[in-house]
Protein backbone atom coordinates (compact mmCIF):
# COMPACT_ATOMS: atom_id res chain seq x y z
CA UNK A 1 0.00 0.00 0.00
CA UNK A 2 3.00 2.36 0.02
CA UNK A 3 2.25 3.27 -3.59
CA UNK A 4 -1.35 4.12 -2.73
CA UNK A 5 -0.28 6.15 0.27
CA UNK A 6 2.14 8.18 -1.84
CA UNK A 7 -0.48 8.86 -4.48
CA UNK A 8 -3.00 10.18 -1.95
CA UNK A 9 -1.36 13.59 -1.76
CA UNK A 10 -3.95 15.98 -3.17
CA UNK A 11 -5.21 16.16 0.41
CA UNK A 12 -2.67 15.81 3.24
CA UNK A 13 -4.32 13.66 5.93
CA UNK A 14 -4.43 15.03 9.47
CA UNK A 15 -3.74 13.18 12.74
CA UNK A 16 -3.24 9.87 10.91
CA UNK A 17 -1.56 7.92 13.73
CA UNK A 18 -4.20 9.05 16.22
CA UNK A 19 -6.98 7.99 13.85
CA UNK A 20 -5.43 4.52 13.54
CA UNK A 21 -4.96 4.24 17.31
CA UNK A 22 -8.56 5.00 18.15
CA UNK A 23 -10.36 3.49 15.15
CA UNK A 24 -8.93 0.02 14.58
CA UNK A 25 -10.02 -2.92 16.69
CA UNK A 26 -10.40 -5.71 14.12
CA UNK A 27 -7.92 -6.23 11.25
CA UNK A 28 -10.57 -8.26 9.42
CA UNK A 29 -13.29 -5.67 9.94
CA UNK A 30 -15.32 -3.36 7.74
CA UNK A 31 -14.55 0.33 8.17
CA UNK A 32 -16.31 3.30 6.61
CA UNK A 33 -14.62 6.55 5.66
CA UNK A 34 -17.70 8.73 5.47
CA UNK A 35 -15.97 11.72 3.82
CA UNK A 36 -13.10 10.14 1.94
CA UNK A 37 -11.57 13.23 0.34
CA UNK A 38 -8.11 12.46 -0.95
CA UNK A 39 -7.98 8.95 0.48
CA UNK A 40 -4.99 9.52 2.76
CA UNK A 41 -6.65 8.23 5.92
CA UNK A 42 -8.20 5.29 4.06
CA UNK A 43 -4.79 4.31 2.68
CA UNK A 44 -3.31 4.31 6.20
CA UNK A 45 -6.20 2.24 7.56
CA UNK A 46 -5.95 -0.26 4.71
CA UNK A 47 -2.27 -0.87 5.53
CA UNK A 48 -3.32 -2.03 9.02
CA UNK A 49 -6.04 -4.40 7.79
CA UNK A 50 -5.46 -7.97 6.65
CA UNK A 51 -6.66 -9.40 3.36
CA UNK A 52 -10.16 -9.88 4.77
CA UNK A 53 -10.51 -6.30 5.96
CA UNK A 54 -12.57 -3.86 3.90
CA UNK A 55 -13.01 -0.12 3.53
CA UNK A 56 -16.12 1.63 2.23
CA UNK A 57 -15.31 5.17 1.11
CA UNK A 58 -18.06 7.77 0.65
CA UNK A 59 -17.72 11.23 -0.84
CA UNK A 60 -20.06 13.57 -2.68
CA UNK A 61 -17.29 15.23 -4.69
CA UNK A 62 -17.12 13.56 -8.10
CA UNK A 63 -13.44 14.39 -8.57
CA UNK A 64 -12.54 12.91 -5.17
CA UNK A 65 -14.40 9.70 -6.02
CA UNK A 66 -12.71 9.37 -9.42
CA UNK A 67 -9.27 10.13 -7.95
CA UNK A 68 -9.68 7.65 -5.10
CA UNK A 69 -10.88 4.95 -7.47
CA UNK A 70 -7.66 5.52 -9.38
CA UNK A 71 -5.55 5.47 -6.20
CA UNK A 72 -7.12 2.22 -4.99
CA UNK A 73 -7.50 0.59 -8.39
CA UNK A 74 -5.38 -2.38 -7.29
CA UNK A 75 -7.50 -2.96 -4.17
CA UNK A 76 -11.00 -3.28 -5.65
CA UNK A 77 -11.74 -6.39 -3.59
CA UNK A 78 -11.03 -4.55 -0.34
CA UNK A 79 -11.99 -0.95 -1.13
CA UNK A 80 -15.39 0.15 -2.40
CA UNK A 81 -15.82 3.86 -3.19
CA UNK A 82 -19.29 5.34 -3.53
CA UNK A 83 -20.33 8.80 -4.60
CA UNK A 84 -22.91 10.02 -2.13
CA UNK A 85 -23.61 11.94 1.07
CA UNK A 86 -22.61 10.70 4.51
CA UNK A 87 -26.17 11.48 5.55
CA UNK A 88 -27.28 8.60 3.31
CA UNK A 89 -24.92 6.06 4.87
CA UNK A 90 -27.75 3.70 5.78
CA UNK A 91 -28.99 3.34 2.20
CA UNK A 92 -25.44 3.25 0.80
CA UNK A 93 -24.46 0.34 3.03
CA UNK A 94 -27.78 -1.40 2.44
CA UNK A 95 -27.19 -1.26 -1.32
CA UNK A 96 -23.82 -2.93 -0.71
CA UNK A 97 -25.40 -5.66 1.42
CA UNK A 98 -23.62 -4.48 4.58
CA UNK A 99 -25.58 -4.64 7.82
CA UNK A 100 -22.84 -4.06 10.39
CA UNK A 101 -19.52 -2.19 10.46
CA UNK A 102 -16.56 -2.21 12.84
CA UNK A 103 -15.84 1.48 12.68
CA UNK A 104 -16.52 4.85 11.11
CA UNK A 105 -14.12 7.67 10.40
CA UNK A 106 -15.04 11.23 9.42
CA UNK A 107 -12.75 14.07 8.37
CA UNK A 108 -15.14 17.01 8.21
CA UNK A 109 -12.72 19.41 6.54
CA UNK A 110 -12.56 20.34 2.89
CA UNK A 111 -9.72 18.89 0.87
CA UNK A 112 -6.59 20.71 -0.22
CA UNK A 113 -7.70 20.08 -3.80
CA UNK A 114 -10.98 21.89 -3.22
CA UNK A 115 -9.30 24.85 -1.52
CA UNK A 116 -6.53 25.15 -4.10
CA UNK A 117 -8.74 24.89 -7.19
CA UNK A 118 -10.04 28.40 -8.01
CA UNK A 119 -12.91 27.10 -10.14
CA UNK A 120 -14.43 25.41 -7.08
CA UNK A 121 -14.83 28.79 -5.36
CA UNK A 122 -14.01 27.68 -1.81
CA UNK A 123 -11.22 30.14 -1.05
CA UNK A 124 -10.96 33.90 -0.71
CA UNK A 125 -7.24 33.64 -1.53
CA UNK A 126 -7.83 33.00 -5.24
CA UNK A 127 -10.37 34.48 -7.61
CA UNK A 128 -12.95 32.16 -9.05
CA UNK A 129 -16.70 31.63 -9.46
CA UNK A 130 -18.65 31.84 -6.22
CA UNK A 131 -19.52 28.14 -6.09
CA UNK A 132 -18.45 26.15 -2.95
CA UNK A 133 -20.48 23.06 -3.87
CA UNK A 134 -18.92 19.80 -2.75
CA UNK A 135 -21.35 18.04 -5.06
CA UNK A 136 -21.18 19.97 -8.32
CA UNK A 137 -24.58 18.54 -9.32
CA UNK A 138 -26.22 20.28 -6.37
CA UNK A 139 -28.60 23.07 -7.50
CA UNK A 140 -27.58 25.62 -4.84
CA UNK A 141 -24.24 27.46 -5.05
CA UNK A 142 -22.62 30.13 -2.90
CA UNK A 143 -23.68 32.71 -5.49
CA UNK A 144 -27.31 31.70 -4.93
CA UNK A 145 -26.95 32.16 -1.17
CA UNK A 146 -25.17 35.51 -1.43
CA UNK A 147 -27.48 36.96 -4.07
CA UNK A 148 -30.89 35.66 -3.02
CA UNK A 149 -30.96 35.26 0.78
CA UNK A 150 -32.50 38.09 2.77
CA UNK A 151 -30.29 40.32 4.89
CA UNK A 152 -31.75 38.74 8.01
CA UNK A 153 -31.02 35.21 6.82
CA UNK A 154 -27.50 36.10 5.72
CA UNK A 155 -26.86 37.60 9.13
CA UNK A 156 -28.15 34.48 10.86
CA UNK A 157 -25.96 32.19 8.71
CA UNK A 158 -22.81 34.23 9.35
CA UNK A 159 -23.49 34.25 13.06
CA UNK A 160 -24.57 30.62 13.36
CA UNK A 161 -22.07 28.88 11.11
CA UNK A 162 -19.20 31.34 11.26
CA UNK A 163 -19.68 32.77 14.75
CA UNK A 164 -18.99 36.12 13.12
CA UNK A 165 -19.47 39.05 15.50
CA UNK A 166 -19.63 41.55 12.63
CA UNK A 167 -22.42 39.62 10.88
CA UNK A 168 -24.84 42.58 10.89
CA UNK A 169 -22.52 44.94 8.98
CA UNK A 170 -21.33 42.24 6.58
CA UNK A 171 -24.85 41.08 5.68
CA UNK A 172 -25.95 44.68 5.18
CA UNK A 173 -22.98 45.42 2.92
CA UNK A 174 -23.60 42.27 0.86
CA UNK A 175 -27.19 43.32 0.22
CA UNK A 176 -26.14 46.87 -0.61
CA UNK A 177 -23.51 45.62 -3.09
CA UNK A 178 -25.75 43.13 -4.86
CA UNK A 179 -28.37 45.80 -5.50
CA UNK A 180 -25.83 47.44 -7.81
CA UNK A 181 -24.32 44.30 -9.33
CA UNK A 182 -24.71 40.57 -8.86
CA UNK A 183 -21.92 39.07 -6.73
CA UNK A 184 -20.43 36.26 -8.81
CA UNK A 185 -16.80 35.74 -7.74
CA UNK A 186 -14.84 34.96 -4.60
CA UNK A 187 -12.80 38.12 -5.11
CA UNK A 188 -15.93 40.27 -5.24
CA UNK A 189 -17.29 38.77 -2.02
CA UNK A 190 -13.92 39.15 -0.28
CA UNK A 191 -13.74 42.84 -1.26
CA UNK A 192 -17.22 43.46 0.11
CA UNK A 193 -16.36 41.81 3.42
CA UNK A 194 -13.10 43.75 3.72
CA UNK A 195 -14.88 47.07 3.22
CA UNK A 196 -16.60 46.71 6.59
CA UNK A 197 -13.84 44.85 8.45
CA UNK A 198 -10.89 46.45 10.28
CA UNK A 199 -7.57 45.45 8.63
CA UNK A 200 -6.30 43.50 11.65
CA UNK A 201 -9.37 41.19 11.59
CA UNK A 202 -9.73 40.70 7.83
CA UNK A 203 -8.11 37.27 7.46
CA UNK A 204 -10.06 35.69 10.32
CA UNK A 205 -13.29 37.36 9.24
CA UNK A 206 -12.91 36.21 5.64
CA UNK A 207 -12.28 32.67 6.87
CA UNK A 208 -15.41 32.73 9.01
CA UNK A 209 -17.60 34.22 6.27
CA UNK A 210 -16.49 31.73 3.62
CA UNK A 211 -16.85 28.88 6.13
CA UNK A 212 -20.38 29.92 7.03
CA UNK A 213 -21.52 30.16 3.42
CA UNK A 214 -19.87 26.83 2.57
CA UNK A 215 -21.69 25.08 5.43
CA UNK A 216 -25.00 26.53 4.27
CA UNK A 217 -24.44 25.60 0.63
CA UNK A 218 -23.59 22.00 1.45
CA UNK A 219 -26.02 21.55 4.36
CA UNK A 220 -23.05 20.18 6.30
CA UNK A 221 -24.47 20.16 9.81
CA UNK A 222 -27.69 18.45 8.78
CA UNK A 223 -25.75 15.83 6.83
CA UNK A 224 -23.59 15.22 9.89
CA UNK A 225 -26.60 14.96 12.22
CA UNK A 226 -28.47 12.55 9.98
CA UNK A 227 -25.43 10.42 9.22
CA UNK A 228 -24.54 10.01 12.90
CA UNK A 229 -28.12 9.09 13.67
CA UNK A 230 -28.20 6.49 10.89
CA UNK A 231 -24.81 4.93 11.66
CA UNK A 232 -25.48 4.00 15.29
CA UNK A 233 -27.53 0.85 14.61
CA UNK A 234 -25.05 -0.15 11.91
CA UNK A 235 -22.12 -0.03 14.31
CA UNK A 236 -21.18 -3.32 15.98
CA UNK A 237 -21.01 -3.48 19.75
CA UNK A 238 -17.57 -2.12 20.71
CA UNK A 239 -17.27 -0.60 17.25
CA UNK A 240 -15.71 2.84 17.14
CA UNK A 241 -16.34 6.26 15.65
CA UNK A 242 -13.53 8.78 15.11
CA UNK A 243 -14.29 12.32 13.94
CA UNK A 244 -11.98 15.20 13.03
CA UNK A 245 -13.73 18.57 12.94
CA UNK A 246 -12.45 22.05 12.15
CA UNK A 247 -15.11 24.40 13.47
CA UNK A 248 -16.75 24.63 16.86
CA UNK A 249 -20.35 23.79 15.95
CA UNK A 250 -19.49 20.47 14.34
CA UNK A 251 -17.18 19.66 17.24
CA UNK A 252 -19.93 20.42 19.77
CA UNK A 253 -22.41 18.30 17.84
CA UNK A 254 -20.01 15.33 17.89
CA UNK A 255 -19.22 15.88 21.56
CA UNK A 256 -22.91 15.84 22.51
CA UNK A 257 -23.55 12.79 20.31
CA UNK A 258 -20.82 10.85 22.10
CA UNK A 259 -22.46 11.82 25.38
CA UNK A 260 -25.60 10.07 24.19
CA UNK A 261 -27.71 12.84 22.68
CA UNK A 262 -29.78 12.13 19.62
CA UNK A 263 -28.52 14.47 16.84
CA UNK A 264 -32.11 15.12 15.81
CA UNK A 265 -32.87 16.38 19.31
CA UNK A 266 -30.25 19.10 18.82
CA UNK A 267 -32.53 20.94 16.41
CA UNK A 268 -34.34 23.77 18.17
CA UNK A 269 -37.78 22.66 17.03
CA UNK A 270 -37.17 18.98 17.72
CA UNK A 271 -39.58 16.68 19.53
CA UNK A 272 -37.11 13.78 19.55
CA UNK A 273 -35.99 12.03 22.73
CA UNK A 274 -32.84 13.68 24.04
CA UNK A 275 -30.79 10.64 25.07
CA UNK A 276 -30.63 7.79 22.59
CA UNK A 277 -27.12 6.36 22.41
CA UNK A 278 -24.54 4.66 24.61
CA UNK A 279 -20.85 5.34 24.06
CA UNK A 280 -17.64 4.97 25.98
CA UNK A 281 -15.73 8.17 25.28
CA UNK A 282 -12.10 7.39 24.35
CA UNK A 283 -10.86 10.99 24.21
CA UNK A 284 -11.35 12.67 27.58
CA UNK A 285 -9.91 15.79 26.02
CA UNK A 286 -10.05 16.74 22.38
CA UNK A 287 -6.92 15.59 20.48
CA UNK A 288 -5.08 18.25 18.50
CA UNK A 289 -2.17 18.05 16.05
CA UNK A 290 1.33 18.62 17.34
CA UNK A 291 3.31 21.74 16.51
CA UNK A 292 5.45 19.63 14.18
CA UNK A 293 2.39 18.47 12.23
CA UNK A 294 1.04 22.02 11.96
CA UNK A 295 4.45 23.14 10.66
CA UNK A 296 4.25 20.46 7.97
CA UNK A 297 0.59 21.10 7.20
CA UNK A 298 -0.72 24.51 8.36
CA UNK A 299 -4.29 23.52 7.46
CA UNK A 300 -4.20 21.05 10.36
CA UNK A 301 -4.06 23.92 12.86
CA UNK A 302 -7.77 23.93 13.76
CA UNK A 303 -8.27 20.15 13.69
CA UNK A 304 -9.96 18.52 16.70
CA UNK A 305 -10.27 14.75 17.03
CA UNK A 306 -12.83 12.94 19.18
CA UNK A 307 -13.37 9.19 19.43
CA UNK A 308 -15.87 6.89 21.12
CA UNK A 309 -16.77 3.21 21.36
CA UNK A 310 -20.29 1.83 21.24
CA UNK A 311 -21.12 0.08 24.51
CA UNK A 312 -24.09 -1.54 26.20
CA UNK A 313 -26.46 0.83 27.93
CA UNK A 314 -26.68 0.42 31.65
CA UNK A 315 -30.07 -0.62 32.93
In the predicted model, residues of the chain with pLDDT beneath 70 are 1-11, 264-275, 315
Q: How far is CA 33 from CA 30, 56, 104, in A?
A: 10, 6, 6
Show Cβ contacts of residue 222 under 8 Å, excluding neighbours closer than 6 positions: 87
Phi-psi sector, 255: left (phi>0), alpha (psi -120 to 50), beta: alpha
Nearest CA among 313, 307, 200 for reference residue 255: 307
Q: Which domains are assigned to the chain?
A: 2-113+220-310 (3.40.50.150), 124-218 (1.10.150.170)
Helix axes 248-258 and 220-231, enclosed angle (nearest 10): 20
Distance separating the N- and C-terminal Cα atoms of the chain = 45
pLDDT for position 310: 97
Query: What is the predicted pLDDT for the residue at 103?
Result: 98
What pTM was estimated for this model as a whole?
Answer: 0.91
pLDDT tens digits for 242-259?
999 999 999 999 999 999
Amino acid sequence: MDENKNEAIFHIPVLVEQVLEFLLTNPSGIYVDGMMGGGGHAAAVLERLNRNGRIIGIDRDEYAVLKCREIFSNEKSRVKIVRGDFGSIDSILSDLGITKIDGLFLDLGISSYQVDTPDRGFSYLTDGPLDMRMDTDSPKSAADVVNSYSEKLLREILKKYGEEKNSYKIAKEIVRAREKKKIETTKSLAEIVMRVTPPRWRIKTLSRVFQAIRIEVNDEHEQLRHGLEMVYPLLKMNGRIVVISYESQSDRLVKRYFRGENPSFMRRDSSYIKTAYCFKILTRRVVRPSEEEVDRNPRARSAKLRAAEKCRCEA
